[in-house]
Structure 1
Amino acid sequence: MQKFLKYTIYINLIVSILSVYMVFNFWDTDRNRAYIFIFLAIATGFNFFFRRHYHKKFEQRKRENEK
């Protein structure tokens, strides 16, 4: 389970990158949809950095407790 959670962090990064790509595709044709993808890109980008930070923090705590 722990290894699965490690990979879900990077799924957020992939979704964020794809959302930015979709913003560029929809910007001229459908501005409302582009705004939705901007929000999605910001939210998933924030989630990536937040979860990665706490994952590193928990790993460090785990290593310190093993010593």
Structure 2
Amino acid sequence: MNYLKFTAYIYLVFAAYFVYDGISKWNNGTDGSWLSLIIAGSAIFMFFFRQRFSKKFEDRNNKS
């Protein structure tokens, strides 16, 4: 279960990539920049969601 703590950081890598992709599409004037930024926002949301879920799961195991 220790690997679950590190898999949340993969979402940050994806978010950084999609922010870069969205900004580069926006500067080039091509369509689809908003989609990349939405995906980046959801990846950041998933990072914080996984961190919070992991903490709740760890606290529940410590109480048992």
Shorter-normalised TM-score: what interval? 0.7 to 0.9
Structure 1 unmatched ranges of 5 or more? none
Rounded Cα–Cα distance in structure 1 between residues aligned with 2:15 and 2:36 = 9
Q: TM-score, normalised by structure 2?
A: 0.83
**Residues 1:63 and 2:59 are matched in the alignment:** no
Aligned-pair distance for 1:16? 0.8
**Count of paired positions:** 63
Sequence identity percentage: 32
Q: For residues 33 and 18 of structure 2, what CA distance do their matches in structure 1 show?
A: 9
Amino acid aligned to 1:45: I
Letter in 1 for 2:6: Y
Asked if 1 retains the 8 angstrom alpha-carbon contact of 2:4 and 2:54, the reply is: no
Secondary structure of 1:27's partner?
helix
Following the alignment from structure 1 to structure 2, what is the Cα–Cα distance between the partners of residues 36 and 59?
Answer: 34
* Residue ranges of structure 2 left out of the alignment (5+ in a row): none
Q: Quote the residue 2:42 is aligned against.
A: 43
How far residue 64 of structure 1 moved from its aligned partner, in angstroms, is: 1.7
- TM-aligned CA deviation for residue 6 of structure 1: 2.1
Note the aligned Cα RMSD (angstroms).
1.3
